[in-house]
Structure 1
Amino acid sequence: MKRQTLFMLCTIATAGLLTGCATTMTQSECLSADWYAVGLEDGARGQSMARLGTHRKQCAEFGVSPDVQAYQQGRLEGLDYFCTLSNGLEVGKAGRNYAGACPTGMEHYFMTGFRLGREIHRVRKEIYANRSEVKKAETEMQSEEATDERVVELRYRVRTLEREFGRMQSRLEYLELEEQRIVISDVSAGLTD
């Protein structure tokens, strides 16, 4: 059963990528919907139960009511794949938001990864901004319009940015080591289950 579910999730995820993860259901989708599979897909994407309301509203236009029980069962199983430490890490690193979809017993694991992933994302953005600012200052220093006084200011600014970069780079290295540690811990825990 688990193998079939995993295959179904992979198929759904691939279809979602190919269709751009459409947020509306067409008439034919509403009429032929496997509500368990719809719930499974929504759960695997971390959608809240409010998503069922959206499906209900869309399909009501075509005289179709969702099978709530099948949807909930599928969504809960999908959340088993979404609400993991590793997935929380990936969602956070991608800078995506979390809609609070994980059940209480699973949310701790997801949030542990999510917080670390968000911190990695934040530091990477800061590093990118730092490097952009250094490049901008270096370009300005090379321009013919830059006065000697402005060049001195810019050199000081670049040195300051380089020190900040060193601190940020150290922070990122620490976070990435922490990421490796928790991923290994998560994989090890999965092997003993």
Structure 2
Amino acid sequence: MRQRLALGSILLSGLFLGGCATTMDQAECLTADWYSIGIEDGSRGQTMDRLTRHRKQCSEFGVQPDVQAYQQGRYEGLDYFCTLPNGLEVGKRGQTYHNVCPAEMQYYFLTGYRLGREIHRVRTDMRRNRSQVRNVEEELASAETTAERKGELRYQLRTMEQEFGRLQSRVEYLEQEERRVVVSKPSPMAKTN
């Protein structure tokens, strides 16, 4: 229980710091708990390149990372990163997945990630559509716009509104799918890809 609380504290501090610091200073290198650093990096989906950056920075102060402790911690941290709900959130934020999940966890992460990426893509398209609609409406309202051009713009506006309706339906479907997938964790045996 105590270990889980400590792990939770490490993960929370990692969420608040969220990768703000890309390097370690001398004090951090000298007092580093490489297992905890590994957990934090793993829980954020960092690649092993992160250890290379730590190693380079700390070598300036004559400190070498404990690679084994870091790798053990990182692998444990990946248990928190490589979940279906986290994959969904990473995808919805439009973040890139760096193929860090071990094979036995990757199916669940990718199930969420792919759905999240699609939600992100459709919402981005919706925002783009709304921006284009505002531009067309501004041109329509302009006194300098000719009657012929206004006719073209009205047609474009109708087309954009139809597209927005299609995107709205798509995002509603994807959000229903999100609720379904999170409630009923899919089986890796149901893989189709």
TM-score between the two structures when normalised by the length of structure 2? 0.91
Give, in whole Å, the separation in 1 of the partners of 2:6 and 2:184.
27
List 4+ stretches of structure 1 deviating above 3 A: none
Matched, 1:166 2:165: yes
The one-letter amino acid of 1:8's match is I
Task: Tell me the C-alpha RMSD between the 2 structures.
Answer: 1.1
Structure 2 match to 1:115: 114
The one-letter amino acid of 1:28's match is A
Give, in whole Å, the separation in 2 of the partners of 1:185 and 1:4.
30
Give, in whole Å, the separation in 1 of the partners of 2:10 and 2:24.
19
Percent of aligned pairs with the same amino acid: 62
Matched, 1:81 2:83: no
TM-aligned CA deviation for residue 135 of structure 1 = 1.0
Residue pairs, 1:23-102, within 5 angstroms = 23-102=22-101
Instruction: Give CA-to-partner distance per residue, 1:36-91, whole Å, 9 cap, x none.
Output: 11101100110111211111111111100000111011101100000000000000
Structure 2 match to 1:189: none
TM-aligned CA deviation for residue 185 of structure 1 = 2.1
Structure 2 match to 1:185: 184
Q: Which residues of structure 2 form unaligned runs of 5+?
A: 186-193
The one-letter amino acid of 1:59's match is C
Q: Which residues of structure 1 form unaligned runs of 5+?
A: 187-193
Structure 2 match to 1:140: 139
**Any idea what SS the aligned residue of 2:106 has?**
helix
Structure 2 match to 1:8: 10
Give, in whole Å, the separation in 1 of the partners of 2:13 and 2:157.
50
Give the number of aligned pairs. 183
Give, in whole Å, the separation in 2 of the partners of 1:159 and 1:134.
10
Give, in whole Å, the separation in 2 of the partners of 1:116 and 1:174.
11
TM-score between the two structures when normalised by the length of structure 1? 0.91
TM-aligned CA deviation for residue 133 of structure 1 = 0.6
